[in-house]
Chain A
Amino acid sequence: MSSLPAHQHFPVNKVQTNKESVFSTLKTPLIFTLCTLALIASLLFSLIAFSQFPLSLSDIWPLIFNPSGDSLNQQIIVELRLPRTLVALLVGIAMSIAGLLMQGITRNPLASPSVFGVSAGAAFAFAFSATGLLPGLSHIPVIFITMTGALLAGVLVFFLGGLHQKNANPIRVILAGVALNYLCISMTRAAVIYADENAYGVMHWLIGSVSNSSIKDVYSMLPGTIFGVVIAILISHKLNLLRLGDEMLNSLGGNTQRLRMIASVATIVLIASAVSVAGPIGFIGLVVPHIARAIIGQDFRLLLPLCALLGATLMLISDSFSRIIRFPDDSPVGIITSAVGALFFLLLALRQVRTTR
């Protein structure tokens, strides 16, 4: 039974009110220490694993003291592996926190960036610009195109899902997202068929990949990710209240409508910055918050950092393994997160329906 999500053991409001047992006071720091160690290990692994060049840990140590290492191996690590690893890390953080926020505001365990349709919107924006139907689009950097698509899809879902109204219904958001997601995917496929010989690139884009990341991508991701994370931290206490119900938050002087609005903005910015660099990498946003909740319970103030740690670790591991599937070819990391995530999703769904009987 120990593997069951924690909230099924305890009354819902227990975690944030009092932590009386010695076990639970020790548990939290222990969890964070372990997760941080896992992150560091996966980071180092990702820097050197599965290359056609013989990279090893001994190439990394000198770099810490002399970041402009000059051997070819060190150049590869600094110029290619490091940006790639950092992008994977940031994408993991952004996507999992976005997922956590979305599950928080919709109070729906299935909420995730792809359900919002935001990733699909960004993907379509890219695919459309790649068809060359509007020649002007090719002069605009990819990142702005996808950012626009993501924002547009997000705003559409926001209003069509009724998040701007009082007492927004969570189901309506999911429905709007599913519909929009489907539309965007259909249109992207049409664009792929239209663009044809250029289709391979679009296909990779549809799945999500960090293969060709450069340090520029890291910089372009940073502001959005930091913005989203800071907002998430600021509203984490209110999200705790929202979890107990709209009335609870309102009676304690919060404004559910405004909270949902703020959280949505943060979510969209997080997703847009991740998608515009790496494509619609699926399921990190769905899986990580669930794992985190199973480990540490329902308190958003603890969930946020844990999601960030776990999301980053998971992305780094997935990206490392995406290089080995067809070595020496790179596969898009999205196929790994999707495959693992989809199986996890099924198990999650099965467990959930079994335990909530």
Chain B
Amino acid sequence: MRIHPTLFITALVAILFCFAIFHVGAGAIDIPVSEVFNAIASPISEHYFIVNNFRLPRMLISMLVGASLALSGLLIQGVIRNPLASPDVLGVTSGASLAVILLAVFWPQAPLELIPPTALLGGFIATAILLFLARHLLQRPAAFALIGIALATIFSAAIDYLLTVNPLEINTSMLWLTGSVWGRNWSHIPLILPWLAVLLPCAFLLSFKLDILALGDDTATSLGISVKALRVITIIVAISLASAAVSVCGSIGFVGLVAPHLTRSMIGNRHLLLIPATALTGAILVVSADLFARVLMPPIELPAGVLTAFIGTPYFIFLLCRYKNW
């Protein structure tokens, strides 16, 4: 099924818009759709406080996180040409999580502001280790992903160890690990917005070269592209995006895996179009996940990461069943 790209992107914008409105409107306190704009704009509205302090920043963060993760997945898949590749698979998210849990265990009094930079640091260290160990493997996508999975596994084993030895930290860390947008507010937006603002144009700049890379390493080399440099740069951009997202909400799984697949199946393989479409799809996924996370069993909140798994797994399995070119 192929859809005209412009139509598809327009449709995505419309869907995102709808979900955004629903996200702001629905929840433990119900705001009618007609009231939503009024609640955002006018301080006299009875919902002004809730909307502007909780729902609006949460919705925006969901969007930014979703877009970053999806974009990160797209770039990684473009480079590694592996259907499994995503920030989760390469150990970026678990590296970031491990860093945060280490902080919580060894410096429990650490100011909370330190969590995001720690996650970012963890994500980068994980990537640095990956790039070091797999420095000869940049030409070999499957091998590269394999090392990534192995690293991710080591990080998760370390996380399990720390959580077992220090059980009191379980709750906070667990919540963070599943990826939750709960309790995020305006102060978290500067932690992710600048990254996206810088890295999105970078992704666009890389898009033509990535299209050529899709034709094969040899073709790309013969067209004068330094394949190795392209891979390294793209991976760094992708990792930064993923780490920034993880530093705000923890690891929200499946977005980086599903969003690129979905858009690719709809509009083909041109990265120039894939980039905005994937970012939008990712945003929709996380916004809708957080929406359902809040309305499924109020007042109890579920982590958005659980919901993306609910949305992502069936899609992924549908993908598996439909895919014929094994």
Mark A residues whose CB is within 8 Å of B: 110, 160-162, 169, 171-172, 174-176, 178-180, 182-183, 186-187, 189-190, 192-194, 196, 199-200, 203-204, 206-207, 282, 325-326, 331-332, 334-335, 338-339, 341-343, 345-346, 348-350, 352-353
Contacts and interface: CB of A to CB of B under 8 A. Distances in A.
A331 B171 CA distance: 19
Interface stretch (B107-115, B157-165, B196-204): B157-165
Interface in B127-170: 133-134, 137, 140, 143, 146-147, 149-151, 153-154, 156-158, 160-161, 163-165, 167, 170
Contacts of A342: 150, 153-154, 156-157
A199 B170 contact: yes
Contacts of A190: 178, 302-303, 306
For A178, A183, A204, A343, the residue with the greatest tally of chain B CB atoms inside 10 Å of its CB is: A183
B146 A353 contact: yes
A282 B159 CA distance: 14
10 contacts: A175-B316, A175-B320, A187-B306, A193-B178, A196-B171, A331-B165, A335-B157, A346-B147, A346-B153, A352-B146
B116 interface: no
B167 A171 contact: no
B305 A186 contact: yes
Contacts of A175: 83-84, 316, 320
B241 interface: no
Interface string B290-325: 000000000010110110011011001100110100
Contacts of A343: 154
B175 interface: yes
Contacts, number: 131
Interface of B: 83-84, 88, 133-134, 137, 140, 143, 146-147, 149-151, 153-154, 156-158, 160-161, 163-165, 167, 170-171, 174-175, 177-178, 253-254, 300, 302-303, 305-306, 309-310, 312-313, 316-317, 320-321, 323, 326
Contact of A193 (B83, B171, B253): B171
A262 B151 CA distance: 33
B174 A207 contact: no
Contact of A180 (B253, B313, B326): B313
Contact of B147 (A183, A192, A332, A350): A350
